[in-house]
């Protein structure tokens, strides 16, 4: 298996061991955002704190805008489709892409904050962390 930050994000695995899945349901279920409690392989706790993934909604918003604005511009200015029809089309596309966007944003958020954390990482003191 290839290693790397983006590979772990796209496969929804933990960045350090690449084995523990972040989500325990399929992307096609109604509870697509339910996450595992811990990694089955290394035991890393996925339940950090209440509201930890709230900031991932901002990342979801950025991903949704990045996907929809270019598509909207193409539909309106190149294909000359009426703007109200474009909004309906984009709403349907967003509804279909919502599980993918939410999972990717949560995986990015989780893996970004736990790059240097876990049982296989060297523990650093506060002085080491603050002296950059």
**What are the residue ranges spanned by the domains of the chain?**
5-118
118 or 84, greater pLDDT: 84
**Would you say the pTM of this structure is higher than 0.85?**
no
Cβ-proximal residues to 118 (8 Å cutoff; 6+ apart), any chain: 14, 16, 17, 42, 44
The mean predicted confidence, pLDDT, of the chain is 82
Q: Note whether 81 and 75 are within 8 A (CB).
A: yes
pLDDT given at position 41: 81
Model confidence at 37: pLDDT above 70: yes
3-class DSSP assignment, residue 5: helix
- pLDDT per position as a tens digit, 41-54: 877 777 878 888 89
pLDDT at 116 over 80: no
């Amino acid at each position: 298996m290839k290693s790397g930050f983006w590979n772990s994000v796209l496969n929804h695995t933990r960045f350090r061991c690449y084995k523990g899945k972040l989500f325990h349901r399929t992307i096609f279920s109604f509870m697509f955002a339910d996450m595992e409690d811990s990694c089955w392989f290394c035991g890393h706790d996925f339940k950090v704190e209440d509201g930890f993934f709230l900031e991932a909604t901002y990342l979801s918003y950025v991903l949704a805008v990045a996907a929809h604005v270019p598509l909207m511009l193409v539909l309106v200015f190149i294909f000359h489709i009426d703007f109200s029809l474009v909004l309906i089309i984009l709403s349907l596309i967003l509804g279909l892409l919502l599980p993918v966007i939410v999972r990717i944003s949560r995986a990015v958020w989780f893996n970004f904050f736990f790059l240097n954390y876990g049982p296989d990482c060297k523990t650093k003191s506060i002085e080491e962390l603050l002296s950059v």
